[in-house]
Structure 1
Amino acid sequence: MAESLLLPLVRGVASKAAGTLVETVTRMCGLDDDRRTLERQLLAIECKLANAEERSETNCYVESWMKELKSVAYEADDVLDDFQYEALRRQSKIGKSTTRKVLGYITHRSPLLFRFEMSKKLKNILEKINRLVEEMNKFGLENSVHREEQQHPWRQTHSKLDNSTKIFGRYDDKEVVVKSLLDQQEEQKVQVLPIFGMGGLGKTTLAKMVYNDQGVQQHFQLKMWYCVADNFDAIALLKSIIQLAQNKRCEMSDTIELLQKQLEEVIGQKRFILVLDDVWNEDERSWEDVLKPLLCSLGGLGSVIVVTTRSQKVASIMQTLRPHKLACLSEQDSWELFAQKAYSNGVEQEQAELVSIGRRIVNKCRGLPLALKTMGGLLSSYQQVQEWKAVEENNIGDNVRGTDEIMSILKLSYRHLSSEMKQCFAFLAVFPKDCEMDKDILIQLWIANGFIQEKGTMDLTQRGEFIFDELVWRSFLQDKQEFRQHLSIGSYVSINCKMHDLMHDLAKDVTDECASIEELTQQKALLKDVCHMQMSDTELKPISGLCKDRTYLRTLLACSESHKDFKALLQIQYASYITCKH
């Protein structure tokens, strides 16, 4: 499925080849014929790529050809970037003295040397493209009828997104869990209540409802929320809980004994609630021998830990109270959740047949909230009966009860995204799970990577905001929150969001261009095919071996300034770097 992003890549490179900046410089260098040939060849490939993608599922030769095409497309993109940079550099030199212009002919920026070097690079790219076109013509591929992707106006702007947070069918669950927690007020030992169920059921949503319940907020003196995900390390967990209890970041020891003493000091005899969200670790010894003695010997009477997990084994290991198993939504709740998304534009009242189709699709979703929201968000983009029928007839399964079945629904919704949205969504795989993503930074990264183009009266930023809102509406992004930031020069509103872990899995599945340093190190893989990389505080020396051969790295997300010399280490000529904290 990773190759589905090749079409927008080729389309983007062809568009760049036709751009004014590139055309201006290639004409000045006498290379415009080669540029036009490159553009034509890319357009010829673009016409048959959709059919090639279908054939690649059963033909390994076509699949190999597509991988080679992707590599060459990135090479061409780099060469065209050089032309664009040269055009901008020459524009900036306008008005400089004659002496400096003359000196330019004998320096490393000499136009003569630039023309010689770029001629070789462009001809090398053309040779590869021509060879790929010759191979493509032997496949007997059919031209794809290119239709302009339908642009759907944003339905209800931000107010509709606020309405989408309405929760269906979980209030009874909330009351049961809240009562169970408040009933522990005389217990001396910390009690552990797991909430478990398959992915996409809304375990985290239920935990948030409980955590923010007015009675819970008043009952507990100290409230802490920590997303565990893949990190069940005792030291990292203790440090995070200490910082949550103090409500500030601080330097701490890596010794468990010292961390335990510090934890006892900050919690004392306060009655606390700690939510450990998304626990995966099924190693009983990690809990029984290490974390349980540390966490369950703290706090005042009635302190509790709430655990959310997909694993019944995790629930049985950590429980002291009977686990709360989350069930699927009822038929009525399922319909209301789906209808809120799917019929937001009022077509429900206009076409009864759409309601009938919607009912059948809801039955296939089997009460899974994430599946219902995703399908509802997808269908809200369509108003014609035949479009709804086409979605219904896709193989989304008649018995959605496991993660694989949910993923099939998510993939179906992904396939109906525009090319721009596919690229923007797949790029999110570079972020770690449960990472809070800043809307403005995301849009800047999308623009910098050339994923979005101006449409009509929308500039790039407005287009990026439209895509962000559409991904939120369709549940590819979730937990959208607004924060007012106060600076010395004034205040502004920042917007953060997260991804459901199943959506993160989907993003990883649809692209092989995003990776973290840790993943590459574990897999002993090189950076050759990676375009977007995330790194933490890993030392640079152990990963220097990843940098062999040519790479096409375009994005580097680093946690700290300590990695500002990473570009020098990689020695990559064409990579463009965007470094941010997350």
Structure 2
Amino acid sequence: MCHFVSVGQICHFIFALRWTGSQEQSLQDHVLQLQSDLQRLSDTLPAMYELINGAEWRSHEHSVAKLLPSLKDAVSEAEYLIDEFRWYETKAQVEEIASQSPLIDFLEKVIQGNFNKLNDVQSRLNHLSSQLENMGLRGVTQRFDKLVRPETTSLPYETEIFGRDMELEKVLGCLIVPKNSKRKRVTSSINASTGASSSNQVSTEPRILSLAVLPIIGIGGVGKTTLTQHVCSNQRVKSHFDQIIWICVSDDFDVKRLTKEVIQSCTGKEATTGNLDSLQRALSNHVNNKRLLIVLDDMWDDALKENGQCWKRFCAPFRSVQEGTVMLVTTRCPNVTERVGTMRPIILEGLKDDVFWKFFKSCTFGSEGSKKYPELECIGRRILSKLKGSPLGAKTLGRMLSMDLQASHWNFILESELWELKQEESDILPALRLSYIYLPFYLKQCFSFCAVYPKDYVFKKARLAEIWVAEGFVEPQAGVPIQDVGVQYFEDLVARSFFQDVGGRYVIHDLMHDMAQKVSEHDCFILRNKSDFDKVPRNVRHLYVHHSNDFDDSNLLRLCKYTKLRTLICKKNLGENTGFVMDKWCTELLCMRVISCAFTNELPDSIGNWKHLRYLEITRACPLKMIPSTFCWLYYLQVLYVKQCNLESLPSDFGNLINLQKFESLGLPIYGRYSYLDSAHRQGQGIRLIKNLNQFRGHLEIDNVGILSKDHAAKAELKNKKYLDELKLNMQGSLGLPESQIIPDD
């Protein structure tokens, strides 16, 4: 997300111009035009973000899907140019330049003869915007297309249900359905029956106290609707309730629409009045003193809008139902479960291995079975691991495999990534993509970025939040440290089941990861071996390089052609060659914002070219001892993690890194998440280096304060370090920080 340029930020350069005659006039004309072009580009971007969001809702349409990568590319170019200008502005601020030279440098970069990069990007945005608007993307309410999310009914699509006997019995128990099918009236409230133990209760607002609500929750394609259909078709259930009402909610929780559908389900007649009061009174009369099973299938947190009042309004007519009535809600949203449920939810997870294999065989081979195809059975068992017990996943691949019962076809599917296989709108990845589409735009950016990490990657909350900030995905909130906002984004995604908390370790479910790779297929890529180089998207922005023995320095030099790279996570250790490779990267990959590499023996002088860099990490022990002076041109740098490197000195202009917030190093001035100034002979230099580092977070510890002069102490300007959590001033030096004082990453 771009942080926009203000007119005032540009104008002060105009008054610094001190040229004469026609040169001065010409330069001022260029500056005024530059000001106008930059402001126009900044003003355009919010609408473009909204357009991207709208296009993703309609990305199942081929014409929209074709333009979406181009729109994202043009927006990225616009962000780059604005970010570039802000770098020159920061340079002038840091170096206290009173002339026009930074602005002239920027002018020379964007205006080359008659070609103006700002105008070119603006024209692209206008053209793409116009095309998408002609497709009806402007000002349309974002709802799931019926092709993407077809309406469901209470009749089972599958004659047999696999591996859900225990869950089915749990639901029947919660409905208090008698063991025999003979009709039996209950005399006590279901709330009282199921709520005697406080452990069975969830939150209390908003809910209708006389109406029991049982949520069934799970990720897309896990079988929530199928289970509920079999509940409704169960003879004991049909005998127990006066009526079963099935409503497909989807993402449009419109009280009037839903009330009309309930009335039509009760009476068989369409409700004609448009007055909500009349509708609700009519519904109240229809359901009066009846024991009902009301199914709300596929409910999203749109139901919780208006701070829960929308949900309460819908439930109001059901106050007249007979005790024992149950509302059964299927959802993939934990928020829905927590805020409307009155009973412990039924959590659906993937099918267990044996039953999943049985189900997979029925999807693939049908009634004839697999005995005729022992070779395919062997391949099929290996394919199952891709699906993590997902019934819809089994149906999806089962359909693909059944089309060609040849080993070559099956091996092709086995060796392909799931996200690379073409799927119908009712298949597993499109089903999971609905969860992504429903996210706010800022969370979409954060989650889709995670596709750059391999499956089973363990995420650290605070570290990922720092990278999201560096990428520009996190929107500042007044008075809240931006990294804390990023952490809240992470927790929001956990709450929506995009990350799983497995014993305090955060991972992404394999199928959700496949979905992330699908929605970011033009932006993110993982290089596992040399053959993958042929598959890298032309405009890739985020790249992960495995530590494969396939790679050598010549392979990694090929990355230089991907000039739009913003992120490079390189796990390959190239030993002494990394300095050469890094120099080439720093020369060619000028959009870089995040770089994490396993090893480098040096940071080349060309690192000063990485004007946009916010995050630099070296993850393993390496002989890096010095940071070049050009490193101090990285005015945007926020995070520097080199804690396995034994640095011996810092450049004299290190204090120019005015946005630096975290610096981890093994032995020099700043240690762990502390700024740690050791050794008396370096105190003067160390104090001067931290003068301008006013964005530091965490803890700052300074040793040997007793030997500092008054002037040295004043130069630290500690009063400006307003983001510190703790400041320690030690009169004498210490040999090191006690382990108990070091704050963990999270």
TM-score (ref. length: structure 1): 0.40
**TM-score, with structure 2 as normaliser:** 0.32
Q: Which has the higher contact order (CA 8 A, sep 6+)?
A: 1
Answer 1 or 2: which has greater helix percent: 1
**Higher Cα Rg, which structure:** 2
